[in-house]
Structure 1
Amino acid sequence: MLPYATLLTVDKTTATPVFVQISDQLHQLIQAGTLSAGQRLPGTRQLANLLGVNRQTIVAAYDEGLVQGWLESRSGSGTFVAMHLPEVKPQPLAETETAINQQPGYTVETHPALHRPLLINSGGLTLDDGFPDVRLAPMAELARAYRSYFRWGNPQQHFGYADTKGHPLLREQLSRHLNETRGLQTTPDNVLVGRGSIMGLYLTCQTLLRPCDVAVTGETTWAGATMNIRQTGATLLTVAVDEHGLDVEALAALCARQTVRLVYVTPHHHYPTTVTLRADRRVRLLQLAEQYGFAILEDDYDYDFHYLSRPILPLASADRNGMVVYVGSLTKSVAPAFRVGYVVAPTALIDELARLRRIIDRQGDQILEFAVAQLFKDGDMKRHFRKALRTYHARRNYFCNLLSTELSDRLTFQKPDGGMAVWAQFDPNIDMPKMVERAGQAGLFLSSGLTHNPPGRQLNGTRLGFASSTEQELEQAVAVLKRVLYPTPTPPR
């Protein structure tokens, strides 16, 4: 007989009933091949004595196995492992046991384009990619709006399946907000609410691009966009970006040579360099889209924060022929945890995006979307934008002054007209990864900027986010950078 007293263990301190523990362990022994098909199990009294439990516990464990089909009972003969189970050869014991295998037993194709560092805020000093200060988020107002959800309307409607395009109240409020602030001419039918702008980019790329297509971005651009384009199998080409934004004449020359299906741009504050696409280039880009029939995917990730003057209206505001797909998000305006983004486009595309969205995410977070809609409706979101704009404007000025006075001979930058980060290019002799490593050891997180490098070029630049830090925190962060960048205790002023 097998050493059941050793193979089966009972832990009476856990919440799992003892008969379930025994039943599960028997199943595991069968699956491992330790117990083979047709093998007779000990009698209930015998096994109860071996394990020191009540006989009825063993009866319950056997009954569980009978119900699940692992065991079978033969009248007058006892309980056996079911005969219909396939033969399993016992596997040799590994030197170390793990909770789950690190590698599957089947082939998994990896996509190099998807290998991108995951940004997680671990606290402490940070000059991030350009994130909002979550401490400014209207938390009390959001909590109040959450509570109102449970008192409003029909509960069956609230907690059942809903529109794949997003909560109707939020689509209505977003349409109104975008029309008022961005000069768009939309209805709620032109709006799809998703989980951040990244979902909007994914849905749009998957819908518009095929492996035979060509998509174009600037040679410096957001990695999240290039990942989505490459994932479709489309060919990705780039054109230059200068101090006035995307080089649209280079794009025109490219379009004259081959068919372009989609152009991805961040015209308000180009990512990562923060430059604004000049007015004449905006007009020319729309003309090229109409002439050559490509879609413009406009990512307006930080429209709400422009300090020089009124924000420049998006391309979508001047689009009269349905060439622009406009994508935005509240994750940069409020907090990354608020996974609320939107796509604005002609209704035929919105309908198709909603059909695709349904197979990966049946619907969004209805409670969050309702609560955010209430913030727009009650004016709380506008008040938050005004407060955040004043705060980030002051932080931009303070941070740029610190960089100029403390680090001027180690990096160069242009004071950004808007956004939440400074594009800083460091002295070519500075090893960016080593600098970032030393800064991390001193308690400051920042990016090495390697992901911003075009193929074959070393920009030695990175984005230094200022919006998420107070002036005191920015001062401390620059002090750390100063210690890292200057080898002498008293650097020259």
Structure 2
Amino acid sequence: MDSPVEIPFRSFIHLKPEQNTAIYLQIVFEFIKAIQTGFLPEGTKLPGTRILCKVLDVNRNTLIKAFQDLEAQGWIETLPNKGTFILSQQKSKADFPLSKEQNTSQINTGFTFQKSTILENPIETSNLPYQFNDGMPDWRLVQTDVLARLYVSKLKRRKSSKTYEQIQLRSHSNFKTHFSNYLNLTRGIRISTSNLLTTSSHEISLYLATKVLINPGDKVAVASPGYYMSNMTLTNTGAQIIPIQAHEDGIDTKQLKEICETSEIRVLYLTSNYHYPTTNSLSAKKRMEVLELANQFGFIILEDDYDFDFHYDNNPVLPLAAFDSNQKVVYIGSFGKSLPSGFSYGFVAAPSEFIKELEKHQNILEPSIDVLKEQVLTEWITEGEVHRLSKKNKKIYKERRDYFASLLNEKLKDKIKFKTPPRGLAIWVEWLDNFNLIQFQKECAAHDLFLPKTILYQTKNLTATRLGFGHLEKEEMEKAVDILSKCLEIITLNH
């Protein structure tokens, strides 16, 4: 490894003081980009802060703050009397040859435009026969015949004398009425149509909510470890991310209170029912504490209930929004994740004035309404088809969860620790041996198993993986876990 002083930081760390984004955040984004693109591979020793301050022409306190943020997110590690090192190596440029389109994009365009280093797509794809993900449903279980029949029946119905705008408005109003009733029934919340915004996806719901709630420089508290996609969305607003340690019973409410006493927190982003990635639920005691803290310090709770549809007991944990008497919770979620692509929905449930503001922005992003899709889903809700399909799928996924957990116990006994989650389509696995997850990923790939980097979590105190099981049948699970076991043996012997 070259001497850290000889690394040409100026060639790939580009700071722009004229921008509104704080310099320390620019440093964080630029270092993450440099790690992701391979300029700073795993094990690289960084120069001391005084030297690096001179190289980058920044204040030392600013650099220290940036490094603290990078270490909290697991990108670097500071060892006493040894220095600061790059902790997690992402895929380098050599692993991903540029496409013709990507090569073309390097040519000067003749004009300038804003470029985001925050929104670099972290998603990887692979053609390997066996693959894990972070908890996706199995599209093979989708009942396309039922959906197709309903869709075609709507198309064949006699044309109305009303204008398209009238049909659109009436159809959307009818859908929101039935959908709000469905949410009230299944999630225990109390909303009317004025408290509901429906969107084409969960991601659009999160984007709209953060755009209206957060201004550049606002402090946003998030659980750590957290969800990479939501962290990207939050960081893109210019927010300052404040990590809160997550435990088995949810976020550390004492730490949250201490931060609120010294800083003005604008938003707390929380996956309370099924924390991503650890699958833990926020305890009943902490739920009440979070609501009390929001009322005491005035922050907004952005509650993300991304996987409510997949719970396996008769008494699902209700969201914080069901107990929010002070209107401090903005509740976002998804609906129909087991439906074919294009039929699922995202939604936001919140005070009516906030929903009105969201609608202004949605009219730009999603100006039209898919009348046929809404009519089909309305019929599915009113006829009970949604409940029937949900019940059937939950039985299948519960069987898969139990079988996957038994395989992990059988094949990886004494090598891992995990809890069987009461909901969701993934299991959080903590590895007891100390090894490099990136090397493990490569070893698994050599044996036909793909582990995307988005499910790998490694810091100086944690080596863990979020293993999705929902998309796997029994034979696929058996093969995948066999490969995990074999590769773990190889990697630990060579460690």
Sort the TM-score into its range (normalised by shorter chain): 0.7 to 0.9
Note if contact 1:165-1:192 (Cα within 8 Å) is conserved in structure 2.
no
Q: For 1:228 and 1:271, how far apart are their aligned partners in 2?
A: 15
Amino acid at match of 1:460: T
**TM value normalised by structure 1:** 0.73
Q: Which residue of 1 aligns with 2:351?
A: 346
Cα deviation code 1:52-78 (max 9, x no counterpart): xxxxxxxxxxxxxxxxxxxxxxxxxxx
Residue 102 (structure 1) shift: 4.1
**Gap runs ≥5 in structure 2:** 1-99
SS of the residue corresponding to residue 433 of structure 1 reads: helix
Q: Which residue of 1 aligns with 2:360?
A: 355
Greater Cα shift, 335-344 or 161-170: 161-170
Q: For 1:443 and 1:120, how far apart are their aligned partners in 2?
A: 13
Counterpart selection for 2:122 from 112, 117, 130: 117
The answer on 1:462 being equivalent to 2:470 is no
Residue 312 (structure 1) shift: 0.7
Residue 330 (structure 1) shift: 2.6
Quick one: structure 1 residues 323 and 120, their matched pair in 2 at CA, closer, same or farther if it must change by over 3 Å? farther
Greater Cα shift, 265-274 or 328-337: 328-337
The answer on 1:476 being equivalent to 2:476 is no
Q: For 1:97 and 1:333, how far apart are their aligned partners in 2?
A: 34
Cα deviation code 1:276-308 (max 9, x no counterpart): 100010011111111222111111111122225
Quick one: structure 1 residues 208 and 435, their matched pair in 2 at CA, closer, same or farther if it must change by over 3 Å? same
Q: For 2:225 and 2:169, how far apart are their aligned partners in 1?
A: 34
Q: Which residue of 2 aligns with 1:272?
A: 277
Residue 435 (structure 1) shift: 1.9
Cα deviation code 1:363-408 (max 9, x no counterpart): 3433323322221122111111101111111111100110011012
Amino acid at match of 1:191: L
**TM value normalised by structure 2:** 0.73
The answer on 1:318 being equivalent to 2:285 is no
Q: For 1:340 and 1:157, how far apart are their aligned partners in 2?
A: 27
Residue 106 (structure 1) shift: 2.6
Note if contact 1:447-1:463 (Cα within 8 Å) is conserved in structure 2.
no
SS of the residue corresponding to residue 135 of structure 2 reads: coil
The answer on 1:372 being equivalent to 2:389 is no
SS of the residue corresponding to residue 479 of structure 1 reads: helix
Cα deviation code 1:440-477 (max 9, x no counterpart): 33332223457645xx6463211111111111211121
Greater Cα shift, 227-236 or 160-169: 160-169
Amino acid at match of 2:486: R
How does 1:381-400 map onto structure 2 within 5 Å? 381-400=386-405
SS of the residue corresponding to residue 222 of structure 2 reads: strand
Greater Cα shift, 461-470 or 138-147: 138-147
Note if contact 2:177-2:193 (Cα within 8 Å) is conserved in structure 1.
yes
Cα deviation code 1:325-380 (max 9, x no counterpart): 11111353445553411111111111110101112221343332332222112211
Quick one: structure 1 residues 157 and 281, their matched pair in 2 at CA, closer, same or farther if it must change by over 3 Å? farther
How does 1:17-166 map onto structure 2 within 5 Å? 102-103=106-107, 104-118=109-123, 124-152=129-157
Q: Which residue of 1 aligns with 2:490?
A: 487
Q: Which residue of 1 aligns with 2:226?
A: 221
Q: Percent identity?
A: 32
Note if contact 1:328-1:341 (Cα within 8 Å) is conserved in structure 2.
yes
Amino acid at match of 1:202: Y
What is the CA RMSD across the aligned residues, in angstroms? 2.8
Q: Which residue of 2 aligns with 1:48?
A: none
Quick one: structure 1 residues 157 and 99, their matched pair in 2 at CA, closer, same or farther if it must change by over 3 Å? farther
Cα deviation code 1:62-111 (max 9, x no counterpart): xxxxxxxxxxxxxxxxxxxxxxxxxxxxxxxxxx9999654323334332
Note if contact 1:195-1:364 (Cα within 8 Å) is conserved in structure 2.
no
Q: For 1:174 and 1:348, how far apart are their aligned partners in 2?
A: 19
SS of the residue corresponding to residue 136 of structure 2 reads: coil
Amino acid at match of 1:187: S
Q: For 2:413 and 2:344, how far apart are their aligned partners in 1?
A: 38
Amino acid at match of 1:194: T
SS of the residue corresponding to residue 460 of structure 1 reads: strand
Note if contact 1:438-1:484 (Cα within 8 Å) is conserved in structure 2.
yes
Amino acid at match of 1:351: K
SS of the residue corresponding to residue 356 of structure 1 reads: helix
SS of the residue corresponding to residue 302 of structure 2 reads: strand
**Gap runs ≥5 in structure 1:** 1-95, 489-493
Greater Cα shift, 201-210 or 167-176: 167-176
Greater Cα shift, 107-116 or 412-421: 107-116
Q: For 2:385 and 2:101, how far apart are their aligned partners in 1?
A: 54
Q: For 2:449 and 2:101, how far apart are their aligned partners in 1?
A: 38
Q: For 2:179 and 2:128, how far apart are their aligned partners in 1?
A: 32
Counterpart selection for 1:249 from 254, 260, 268: 254
The answer on 1:441 being equivalent to 2:411 is no
